[in-house]
Structure 1
């Protein structure tokens, strides 16, 4: 594979990743302005509208747009094959159950290592996701976020970052490289929601996202099904929200 084709693959994937974020942000801003203009200032309504906008329009919308542009029209057979979407099997359900447990094992190990080594002088502490920090003031919003995580966030982000970006990189790079690069991109685009005064803590949190992305990417390759990382991603986020609800309610 030539350097030119590999450079093009990376450029396309970066454009998709950051394009998805900016598209989602613009859609989210539009939804929030419209709901406020209509007089619906309830936090739950804003969260639902914003999540739909960011994940459906930003992540999933851009992913599907790429597939349409690439084939000069929507080619269902190509899309299903490229994204590795197929009918779930019993083995996929096993992947999901053990994969969800594995996600917490991986992150627990990562944080234990960071706390032990403390490379950024933060005592192993990272920044809190901005939405979680906001929801702690209104814990019921964590309950609102649970179905959103399962049905929108997990599928939307995995469709873009694993289904499109990792698969596209895999056409030009060895699988291992594609998984690592896609995970790095996945972490970088989360920078805005982890921004804080302590840059070391920001790096710890981005490392957390990167480890999750790496884990989801490996599961995607091993299971050969987008359904697996999408559901594990959603269930992982939902579990975090439920834990926060039980803590702060």
Structure 2
């Protein structure tokens, strides 16, 4: 039996594709704004410790969840708008997760061979010991980062775009916005390193979007995103202990 696809909800009106594109951009900006505002308490605590770092991650990601919830409530789509059913094709979820991780690993290996640093500076330039940071980010990826970001970018923005765009258009639109949100974490990287990291984020995000479209479950995208990030941090933690 072929995998179910994320079918678009009936559109509430006949507004143009430009209205929907603008709405997706506005929702992304709102999500970033909410993330920034909610993470302020952790910033105001001052010293960066594992505890404040976790608090910052949780509060920041909560901003994406808040933006998604606000959108479906004010547009009368309701919480049922989110495709929260469990996916039946877990093998597909595993394939996307491992495939994305393998792709990134190959790109990173090539970048290192060329003398580029593919690591996001915002993660490595902290006073927290690297091993502690990586260990903290493994569960955070699975329980917070993956679910929160996929709820907004695939479960809300991609589905919203799907009301007016083709599956490819909606996946591309949500994927580009997802990648652009990560630009601030790359501003202190060199031009080639930043471009490389952004390219990887874009392509990996598109794979999550494809998975959501194919399975019709935002949980599938959440699991793949969280698993992908966890594999990155887990492999990094392993390398720090082997070197």
What residue in structure 1 maps to residue 68 of structure 2?
A: 63
Match of 1:158 in 2: 150
Q: Distance in 1 between matches of 2:217 and 2:115?
A: 34
Shift of 1:225: 0.6
Tell me what 1:104 maps to.
Answer: 101
1:244 positional shift = 1.5
Higher relative contact order (CA 8 A, sep 6+): 2
Written as runs of structure 1 = structure 2, the 5 A alignment for 1:1-249 is: 5-33=16-44, 35-36=45-46, 41=47, 43-56=49-62, 58-71=63-76, 75=78, 79-80=79-80, 82-86=81-85, 88=86, 91-108=88-105, 111=107, 123=114, 125=116, 127-134=118-125, 137-249=129-241
Gaps of 5+ in 2: 1-10
Ranges in structure 1 where 5+ consecutive residues have no aligned partner: none
Q: Is the 8 A contact 1:146 1:237 kept in 2?
A: yes
Cα drift, residue 108 of structure 1? 4.7
Normalized against structure 1, the TM-score is what? 0.82
| Shift in alpha-carbon separation, 1:209–1:126, aligned structure 2, 3 A | farther
Separation in 1 of the partners of 2:184 and 2:168?
Answer: 27
